[in-house]
Structure 1
């Protein structure tokens, strides 16, 4: 068994460019690379960043009345992804110099997060290359939540899917965050099943270990919702509608909304709906608020209209809170219906309210909370995810071309590099 050191690449775009920034890949990038480093397998990590003027110029050429289309016309274009790959190539060459490597030596492997760029076009066949994915463009295209104006951009989708398919086929293995997504790559991108591996995902909040199902008071009717972005995609309006139905049975119930801006409270003046705003996991006061919510809330709800993965329900379950989620996508895997929570119908506030009441009225809710906590802690950790990834990499047959002489970048790195991230 060979044990390669990992060169990590955060592929940019909407995922971010700094592998260690708290907001990159919703915080998962830093958690992933820190765990790789803890297991002494990380060589270094970097991410390509294009200049502010680049974005000004490119966005000006993508004008559209629909903001989502305007944004996606840039981020989904092949030209943008090629530019990110070129920038990553420059950074890769600079790292080789900084680490006293005139060439990428045997004993290294590359793991790229996402598919905004293609590491195979940088490293060729000199070393094994893998990707770790939490979604793909094919899923975005087929989602009923995708705006009609965006779905109408058929040429854009065809170009983006073709690019992602090529990236997928260029990888030695694709790692996914769920079995649902694994099957999506197999079905949409015609990948052999053996080349797509589900390794799940960890959470980005260290659990408050003192919060256990035995210490919680499940007689409280406090309900938690976390959705830091996309008011409609996360189903915030559905959560509020369902809660007001639940209130007819439990007038004392309280809905805690974390993520949606406090300004939305003007639209929903119900005194039992508490808007906490965005709570940062890097702010000590916000952490105390989260701790209190995890301690006192009896159930969690996530009625998303589209959710490739969804970490928040897992974080809730880690604190003994059964979760009611939309029974679609990876959510139906992370929450076991009737065991660690319940599945609600897509875009159905009445069914969501019914499932919420079933849990709140369940005399075995504490037992369900204990099962949720045991399930989440046992299956969703970065240690487990990274260990699984490394086991597959270590057992993956090395290519014969691994020792091939690399193609050198003869241009001046100092002239080409606009941003470089290293740890």
Structure 2
């Protein structure tokens, strides 16, 4: 199958950890690689943000990344790309008229907005993955939401025009229902985790009385919506416990980062600054060992379209305490691989953490169950299986002339 993916701001080649580089980049990269390794012809179209980038970058898997000229060839805020969506659509149309894909998979709403007219002109079905919904973002961020005003209407327009919506969790299907999109238009395929890279090898179980401090770990982009401030507030109720936060700019740039400054100011005001450690960006190859060094991983956003960090923690055999939002409701088995708590409730978060830290046997049990759940349900191979089924459902085979080999 010839597959075109559109990921306008999230290139599979991008370094993770920036304000606009995270789970979507990982999802697109891993899915493209796996589908290519299965014999599909995969091209990922992303906006050129550097004039020195080659037009086409082949990946070891056989997939290729196509850098599309749409707007200035430099990094710009994700929301500013909206002005260049027509340019992106026009270039996609030209590319697909020359070489027609069997299916287009659009990632994020602006990708869908560009892909739909281009695919329509080429007679190609579009599968849409939103990765995040503007209605949810606006509900939680209010006036702080920088999305273009047209986003909500565009997302509804995309839902009407695409062949299938590929949602990453059941809560997203519920949110789409509130927008008037029926569940019959959706297929749920979760995100995945590399269970070989994120493994429980080297995991040291908690031993009572053998640690000066318990370690809580939070991993993710250093942005307010990740809710790291909730974990800082919970520290006031958790003596002999440190909170390590990994993510954001490199360590030498943390002092200039507004979210790092906000967290440090809060920690000083609450008198827990001596137990807050901001690591900054951590290389991907070092993240599994960091996760395994923790007693618990905290995932505390007010909303989360899916959230890969809980899967990474579970794959490493580390229990998770997460807010009961979005994809966490699917990934974390409450009372089995971790605990779910109400968003925004530092007291409930601290109580859940204390419950687990006070029970080493429960921690070990949750850790083992988490590893099993990750391997059983959330490998990237399982994700690719589900995505292939969605593609096969919507793709229209290219007609083969009579007598030609099939």
TM-score interval (norm. to shorter): 0.7 to 0.9
Cα distance change, pair 88–48 in 1 and its aligned pair in 2 (3 A): farther
In 2, are the aligned partners of 1:224 and 1:301 still within 8 Å (CA)? yes
1:316 paired to 2:309: no
Q: Secondary structure at the match of 1:112?
A: strand
Cα distance per residue 1:339-396 (max 9 Å; x no partner):
1111122212111111110111123220111111111222222211111111232244
- Answering whether residue 245 of structure 2 is matched by residue 257 of structure 1, we say yes
Counterpart contact for 2:291–2:313, Cα < 8 Å: yes
Instruction: For residue 236 of structure 2, give the secondary structure of its aligned residue in structure 1.
Output: helix
Counterparts of 1:85 and 1:229 in 2: how far apart (Å)? 32
Name the TM-score, length of structure 1 as normaliser: 0.74
Residue ranges of structure 1 left out of the alignment (5+ in a row): 60-70, 282-286, 405-423
Native 8 Å contact 2:104 2:127 kept in 1? yes
Q: Which residue of 1 aligns with 2:156?
A: 165
* CA displacement 1:308-356 (0-9 Å, x = unmatched): 2111121011111111111122222211211111112221211111111
Equivalent runs, 1:56-205 vs 2, <5 Å: 74-75=80-81, 77=82, 79-93=83-97, 96=98, 101=99, 104=100, 108-116=102-110, 117-124=113-120, 126-143=123-140, 146-148=141-143, 150=145, 156-157=148-149, 159-188=150-179, 190-203=180-193
Moved more, 23-32 or 380-389: 23-32
The residue correspondences of 1:27-66 to structure 2 (distance < 5 A) are 27-49=26-48, 54=71
Question: After the TM superposition, which parts of structure 1 deviate over 6 Å for at least 4 consecutive aligned residues?
Answer: 50-53
1:238 to 230, 234, 239: 230
Q: CA RMSD in A?
A: 3.1
The structure-2 alpha-carbon separation of the partners of 1:208 and 1:115, relative to structure 1 and needing over 3 Å to count, comes to closer
Structure 1 residues 198-213: aligned runs within 5 Å: 198-203=188-193, 206-209=196-199, 211=201
Structure with the larger RCO, 1 or 2 (CA within 8 Å, 6+ apart): 1
For residue 309 of structure 1, give the secondary structure of its aligned residue in structure 2.
Answer: coil
CA distance in 1, matches of 2:165, 2:370: 29
Do the aligned residues in 1 keep the contact of 2:193 with 2:374 (CA within 8 Å)? Answer: no
Contact preservation (8 Å) 1:223, 1:254: yes
- What TM-score results when the alignment is normalised by the length of structure 2? 0.77
Task: Answer yes or no: is 1:294 the counterpart of 2:291.
Answer: yes
**1:48·1:87 contact (CA, 8 Å) conserved in 2?**
no
Are the counterparts in 2 of residues 7 and 44 from structure 1 also a CA contact under 8 Å? yes
CA contact (8 A) 2:199 2:317 kept: no
Q: 1 CA distance for matches of 2:130 and 2:374?
A: 20
In structure 2, the CA distance between the partners of 1:212 and 1:193, relative to structure 1 (3 Å rule), is: farther
Is the CA contact 2:32–2:42 (under 8 Å) kept in the aligned structure 1? no
Q: Equivalents in 1 of 2:207, 2:167: separation in Å? A: 35
Q: CA deviation at 1:210?
A: 5.0
Query: Higher mean Cα deviation, 352-361 or 25-34?
Result: 25-34
Contact 1:33 1:45 in 2 (8 A): yes
Q: How many residues align?
A: 353
SS in 1 for 2:310: helix
Rounded Cα–Cα distance in structure 1 between residues aligned with 2:274 and 2:395: 60
CA apart distance, 1:51:
8.2
Please give the per-residue CA displacement for 1:105-158, whole angstroms capped at 9, x wherever unaligned: 7xx222222221332311326232212231121222222xx142548x9xx53x
Query: 1:275-354, aligned counterparts within 5 Å?
Result: 275-281=278-284, 287-288=285-286, 290-354=287-351
